[in-house]
Structure 1
Amino acid sequence: MLRLPLVLLANLFLGLRLLLGLPFRLMAVRQRPSWVRFRLAGSLPYRPRRGPRLRLGGPPVEPATVTSLEDFGRALRLLAADPKVEGILLEVEGVSLTDARREALLALLSDFQAAGKRVVSWAVMVDTNEYPVLGAADEVLLAPMGRVELVGYAAEATVLGEAFDRVGIHAHFARRGDYKTAPEFFTDGKVSDIQRQTLETFLDERFAALVEALSRSRGKTPEEAKALIDAGPYSAKRALEAGLVDGLVHEADLGAHLGLESKKRGGDEETPVPTFGAYLATQAFPPVRWLKLRRRPRLAVVDVAGMIVPGSGGAGRFAAADTVVKALRKAGRDPRAKAVVLAVNSPGGSSLASEQMLEAVKRVAKQKPVIAYVDQLCASGGYMAAIGAKEIWSAPHAIVGSIGVFIGKFEYGGLLEKLGVQRTTLTRGENAAFASNSRGFTPHERAALEREVEESYQTFLELVAQARGRTKEEIHERAEGRVYSGLRARDAGLVDRIGGFEEVCRHAMDEARESSDDFEIVRYGGGARSKLSLLKLLTAASHPTTYAFCTAAWSLWGLGSLRRLD
């Protein structure tokens, strides 16, 4: 009952503000800019992040900075419809994007260009991951002192087995799946061939995508694109000679380069390129987001981000089972939330915690559509949580799979002896010291360990087989710790569709038979962030626990280009 007068009052305020500013905007209409500047920096969210309305302290945000892909797309559509606008200047400054978000950004730019508008990009320095964004423009500019750190991709696999031996720490693990290489990080003295092959496969896919993007944007053959990558990194002069950029322009000269006239007299003054906010100030009737009498349908997004652990807290670095389960229950109980997107970005973790999440996902899926989406990583326990959804969507080059388990503990007896610590273990019961970190496993304990890991693996296979409509044998052929890209996971039947976040959200609303054109997204869960503690991890790992975890996926996060430190 109170919503009607509040909405009317809020819309009245918006209308009055629009009318009061009309005379000033009418005077500025003739100065409507033909070029608008945007700045890409940091990690762009799909939708605007909710934050405090009143910002106290902290560095000011540069006015041209793009705050979300949704807002950027809305701005580009408005500019594309203005016949006076020639194009946009896109400044690329330390932007860090997943493959999926980069593709979403490039799609927005492509639609803008298809409307007959130009995109001019400029940067001081870009690396391998940033260059596809810079190079997608109609004209690519670089600062004369700038650099193009285009060198391809690299992955470094690390093993600690020999180092642990030297300090008196021994890792004891049992695993199911030759491709479940996570324990090798602690036990082996060198990188295994399977680990190497896994990394090589992802490197090949990422490199092929880079070559294709470079060929498309710069009009090169694949062979020429590979030669350009192999000749990197580039100074500004060499980048211009190689055709990676079209011109070298100082930031102060960008306005003049675009043909903008300075309002000041004289020829040496800087001509700034207006921001989108300045452009809106020249619109007689800028777009206004009026509040509607009827509330928009709501889409719930529940994040499973980080290593999966039991308990609560740890938002950002750990996906705590209790926190995620409570978020799912809240989304399920919310009558306005018509569907749920389970956004998974996790290498896995505790098998127990993963199964808790799976059961919670299944319960919510009985009430409303639940779609799982993988933007970057959905491996092991993360995949276990995702299979409870009605469908699983993935970005093309996300990391998916690693169906397998391992169980084990760390033995610190040698280290304690070197430190002069004497410990005596007394037991009653064959497996009473099963969790002791003073020694390894006895033959009887090892048999119990093998029995446990086999049971856990079979349970994992059964859960996936039931969810994916296949037999255990078929899933086993795709399991044993194998890791797939999103595209290969779809071909293997582990993923239903390939798509982007916005596409997934619209599909979820369609499944709920709600409007997929106008809805709001609300994230559930979160909480205080906890610091990643090596001591905490080692302490937790000192007791035998079932893990569904993918170390290889963590290593792949390090893919990127070199950065110079001069």
Structure 2
Amino acid sequence: MRLLFVPVINLLLLIRTLLGLPLRLLGARHRPAYVRFRLSDDPAYRERPRARRLGLLGGQARPEPATVTSLESLREALALLAKDPAVKGILLEMEGLAVPPAKRDVLVKLLGDFRAAGKRVVAWAVSVDSAGYQVMCAADEVLLSPAGRLELVGYAAEALALGEGLERLGIQAHFFRRGEYKTMPELFTHPQASDIQRRTLESFLDERYGELVDNVARGRRRPPEQVKAWIDAGPYSAKRAAAEGLVDGLCDEVDLPARLGMKGAGDEDDGEGVESMAMYRARLPWPPVRWRSLRPKPRLAVVPLTGMIVPGKGGAGVGPEVAGSDSVVKALRAAGRERRAKAVVLYVASSGGSSVASEIILEAVQRVAKKKPVIAFVDRVAASGGYMAALGAREIWATPHAIVGSIGVFAGKFDTSGLLEKLGVHRTLITRGETAGIFSSSRGFTERERALMEAEVEETYQSFLEQVAKARGRTKEEIHALAEGRVYSGQRAHAVGLVDRTEGGFEEACARAMSLAQVQGPFDLQMFGGEDRRFSLLRLVLGGAWTGTYAFCPTAWRLEGFGSGERFE
């Protein structure tokens, strides 16, 4: 059937191209010297049909024409523009960019390569934060709206402690943990953040702050001391930013074409302004055509593991995304069965969750890895149960500033009897069996139940160590020295052997997976799973079935939104 339909489709593409040639020849004389791109939200790595908003491959249903919907499309557009001698450069408009450091680095590299081809990059924004400003610093000229702002203030992370507040409400938190760095129970038991948690957060702040200073210093050609002084004096109004040399000038959006030396007022429809890539392509005499191939491209399966890991299919609610073990396992099985998918990339963006659900997903990853190569890729977080699931892959790739590790477990429940007494609510627990009330929130643990829970936590922790040791080719003792809940950045995790590579992003990880499958050349991505479910953390921790063993990383959770816009999904 493909042999029949592909020639027909290509013929129709050729006819459409030829029919539009006269109009494109007329418009070719008015091709813009600058092409406009709009960077906002979280562009996908690659496009996919019926894209939903997801950290890995998401997008908007009907984006504004100049909006960059994927890094792949931006790469292709810049490569085409770089070859056109009539194009002087691009105008990059920034609006609410919210990408992880890995995507930011890709954007910076793309702009650097475009400039190396002899083209000019002008970046403009109304308001921009520290993350977006680092991308703007990769441009030849940085502009702000006169009414705009530059929120260059560095980074902050808040450590929350609910212990005293819960006690006042009459709620007692009873938890057991394995690993002094496994600080999740401290959220409910401590009146304030511990020194360990403070030091952990500070280590990530130090890395991000140092990178911010380096990127701005390199882009603005100023010494690091000057950049630190800038950060300490922020935030800035547009006028202050221009006066301090943080930006090269102030310009209203309607005046941008004149600033770039062009005619017109910048309206896309008048043919004289700074136009979008779609309008530029429409004026090319011979625009690139995606001809259909008689032989279909090989596919790479992508399975996302995003959000809190829970048993079953997950559930609806208000809170962070969840990864139900049933749904993820189903997606992995489908990826393993798909004949055209020669390899699999497991995209991990999870702080963990249920240890049982995480182990179920790990086993599913291991089964797929026996059939075809599996690469685990992390650009945000793979901690605790998220890291456990990644162990089933042949290789683990993490970007330098991803959050990795947190090898440790905890278990516990809440005793709400004090709160109920204050409310005048009385519950009578009647049991048959010495430990039948272990899951009840009407009381705490008995000594017998406490001993059983501590033994279960220890058993689960030892199992976790064995899994890591086997996957990483180390002894349990070596992994224990790195574990007990310790959290690492991607570059530190690589240094201690918890990940295999930090040089390279999503595209490089995909290429590596296909090379392990001995497949060369272009390939398509096929998405499996990735349902957009939401979950209530409050409902989780106060639910009647809270008693259990969990592999969850509080550091990654508390760093959500770290850096004004960055999200660890």
Q: TM-score, normalised by structure 1?
A: 0.95
Deviation, 1:187, is 0.9
Letter in 1 for 2:36: R
Note if contact 2:441-2:544 (Cα within 8 Å) is conserved in structure 1.
no
C-alpha separation between the residues in 1 aligned to 2:271 and 2:417? 69
Note if contact 2:97-2:132 (Cα within 8 Å) is conserved in structure 1.
yes
* Matched residue, 1:552: 555
* Matched residue, 1:5: 4
Matched, 1:286 2:290: no
Matched, 1:43 2:45: no
C-alpha separation between the residues in 1 aligned to 2:51 and 2:129? 33
* Matched residue, 2:478: 474
C-alpha separation between the residues in 2 aligned to 1:423 and 1:59? 51
Q: Percent identity?
A: 61
* Matched residue, 2:260: 258
Deviations 1:357-392 (A, max 9, x none): 000000000000000000100000000000010000
Q: 1:132-211 residue pairs with structure 2 within 5 A?
A: 132-211=134-213
SS at 1:259 equivalent? coil
SS at 1:32 equivalent? coil
SS at 2:463 equivalent? helix
Q: 1:3-42 residue pairs with structure 2 within 5 A?
A: 3-42=2-41
* Matched residue, 1:430: 434
* Matched residue, 2:505: 500
Deviation, 1:106, is 0.9
Deviations 1:510-560 (A, max 9, x none): 111102x41000110133x33433553134464311100011111112322
Deviations 1:98-150 (A, max 9, x none): 10111111111111111111100101110111110112100111111111110
Q: How many positions carry a matched residue from both structures?
A: 552
User: What stretches of structure 2 of length at least 5 have no aligned partner?
Assistant: 53-59
Note if contact 1:151-1:561 (Cα within 8 Å) is conserved in structure 2.
no
* Matched residue, 1:246: 248
Deviation, 1:270, is 11
Matched, 1:91 2:90: no
Q: 1:397-436 residue pairs with structure 2 within 5 A?
A: 397-436=401-440
Note if contact 2:32-2:272 (Cα within 8 Å) is conserved in structure 1.
no
C-alpha separation between the residues in 2 aligned to 1:486 and 1:88? 33
Deviations 1:182-234 (A, max 9, x none): 01011111110000000000000000000000110001111111111111111
Letter in 2 for 1:173: F
Note if contact 2:314-2:533 (Cα within 8 Å) is conserved in structure 1.
yes
Q: 1:59 to 1:366 in 2, by over 3 A?
A: closer
Deviations 1:382-438 (A, max 9, x none): 000000100000011000000000011111111111111222223332212111110
Letter in 2 for 1:507: R
SS at 1:532 equivalent? coil
C-alpha separation between the residues in 2 aligned to 1:247 and 1:164? 52
C-alpha separation between the residues in 1 aligned to 2:523 and 2:122? 33
C-alpha separation between the residues in 1 aligned to 2:353 and 2:544? 11
Letter in 2 for 1:300: A
Letter in 1 for 2:238: A
Deviation, 1:157, is 0.5
Deviations 1:240-299 (A, max 9, x none): 1111110111111100111112399xxxx9962111111112211100001111000000
* Matched residue, 2:55: none
Match of 2:514 among 492, 509, 514: 509
SS at 2:349 equivalent? strand
User: What stretches of structure 1 of length at least 5 have no aligned partner?
Assistant: none
C-alpha separation between the residues in 2 aligned to 1:293 and 1:179? 56
SS at 2:342 equivalent? strand
Letter in 2 for 1:205: E
C-alpha separation between the residues in 2 aligned to 1:87 and 1:116? 9
SS at 1:353 equivalent? helix
* Matched residue, 1:62: 64
Deviation, 1:47, is 0.6
Q: 1:127 to 1:24 in 2, by over 3 A?
A: same
Note if contact 2:385-2:552 (Cα within 8 Å) is conserved in structure 1.
yes
Letter in 1 for 2:148: G
Q: TM-score, normalised by structure 2?
A: 0.94
C-alpha separation between the residues in 1 aligned to 2:90 and 2:314? 43
Matched, 1:336 2:340: yes
Cα RMSD for the two superposed structures:
1.9
Letter in 1 for 2:307: G
